[in-house]
Structure 1
């Protein structure tokens, strides 16, 4: 029985992750703590009402360290002596900016870096003691592999997330942790737009598969999802292979 903590679950990939995990039997997925910045998610509220024994909505602002620590304490109080098995850092932001990197707004770069890197570190650090008590000790950080539009701040921040994941993977390997980056692909979400390649259900299903099948030998890797028939989609976002660092 696996327990999950997932950030950014009010919509998009995060909400779909919760939905698909709840479709699995309780013997496989025992508890999901879905973190959102507020309770204004009709989709998540419906799932909470349908699965009150397995799904808990935790309200926290991932950019605020005190809020994240409070969320971790709440999860700990609900789990008792048990730990968290899997943490999925899904919360993130993507903003279109100038095609020229020198024209990227400093304020925008700080904001995007704060959400996509600093907040991920805060969440990972806050839940680390609970993960140390868990059975699987797995952390998955989501980022899209090289989006095509001018989103330079996003690209810079995700390079930082790549290094953050690599550092955690190296430092915590001896404790039995597995830290992995996953590119869910270009999905039809509010962030991805209706012009995206794949429906959110397709990409999320692959993210779930990877979280279930990953091995300790893949610690520190950056993995693409695998979508049959899309392996040659440039720049090979759906071949299921490891992305070179």
Structure 2
């Protein structure tokens, strides 16, 4: 039975991932920790009540060292010496840039949220992950963070977000290289352009589809996924017109 911790889990992809996991049998999923700054909202409360205690909200503001320490201690008390199996770094922001690259003014905030906080959360929970069986860290990235695909996404006005996801990919590689000898599987994965508050109503896929396909990789993760930049597979989208093709192949860095 695996234990998961998902950041940014009060809505969107994070909540959808938790919902998918909670639907799996208890023989596969022991606990899903939903970490966010404000973990108590109607959607989370409803999922917690339906899960029979397997979905557990966790108050976590990684900007606050005391909040981060308390979150680690809380999860440690609940896993009872069995460790944490999977960490999903999902929290992130995506502001719009009004104009070309010279107009970007929010690099500091976006980098801090999308990269630095992912690092702080990962390093804080690493001791519990070492005790777990799966030792999996999945960083939710984006195809717009691919330097190889940059020309295809030139019209998408999220400059700081693109650069931060490229940086998150490099952070992923650093962890993948440093902890491979301990049996860790650390990878970046793009869940697709999803219909969430972040992705908007015009996005390609329902959030449920992105969550389901993302979890196929996370649940089966092993050494073969370590250090990779993964793209989900959605039948019918392998050769779709436009930049977004969900073919299940590794994305170019």
- TM-score computed with the length of structure 1 as normaliser: 0.96
Report the counterpart of residue 244 of structure 1 in structure 2.
252
Match for 1:131 among 118, 129, 139?
Answer: 129
**C-alpha root-mean-square deviation of aligned residues, in Å?**
1.3
Q: Distance in 2 between matches of 1:144 and 1:207?
A: 12
Aligned ranges for residues 157-176 of structure 1 at < 5 Å?
157-176=164-183
1:183-236 Cα distance to aligned partner (Å, 9 max, x none): 001000011011000111111110111112233122010000000110113334
Unaligned runs of 5+ in 1: none
Do residues 113 (structure 1) and 111 (structure 2) align?
Answer: yes
Q: Distance in 1 between matches of 2:245 and 2:44?
A: 29
Match for 2:215 among 192, 208, 216?
Answer: 208
Report the counterpart of residue 221 of structure 1 in structure 2.
228
How many residues end up aligned between the 2 structures? Answer: 243
Report the counterpart of residue 72 of structure 2 in structure 1.
72
Q: Distance in 1 between matches of 2:191 and 2:225?
A: 17
- TM-score computed with the length of structure 2 as normaliser: 0.93
* Structure 1 contact 225–237 (Cα < 8 Å) conserved: no
* Stretches of 4+ aligned residues off by more than 6 angstroms: none
* Structure 2 contact 176–226 (Cα < 8 Å) conserved: yes
Q: How far did 1:63 drift?
A: 2.8
Do residues 85 (structure 1) and 85 (structure 2) align?
Answer: yes
Q: Distance in 1 between matches of 2:62 and 2:92?
A: 10
Secondary structure of the equivalent of 2:5? Answer: strand
